[in-house]
Structure 1
């Protein structure tokens, strides 16, 4: 089982890489930080790349029917989804 802190660190690095946020902006994300629609870098094209990278870096499989807009509303939602998938 992967530790929540490790998942958090991995997810921040992933967002920094995929969205080009840089380490400082990624580190500043809080549970309430908006993602899709709030970050100009996080557009519909970035969603597929983020999901693919999540599967690769976190060792999870994400089915299309598991994805909804709520997951990408905030960083906290994305982290909670990732932790839930790892726990499966």
Structure 2
């Protein structure tokens, strides 16, 4: 999972729009859109501000193993297993 996907998943989990997240974190909506789409990489302070804007610990996005979204767990990856 890339950081943009994690930002989007966490934003949706909190029921926050891109516009609202932008306002809360002091960024533009286009910046949030670009982060979520993987077109731009957030800086450390961007990730801290986004986490705090979502009510999470400022280090949320820096954990080594963030939880997978519930819908992604168990879904096929499209890769063949070694036994195939």
TM over 0.5: no
Say which structure, 1 or 2, has more relative contact order (CA 8 Å, 6+ apart): 1
Bigger Rg over Cα = 2
Query: TM bucket by the smaller chain?
Result: 0.3 to 0.5
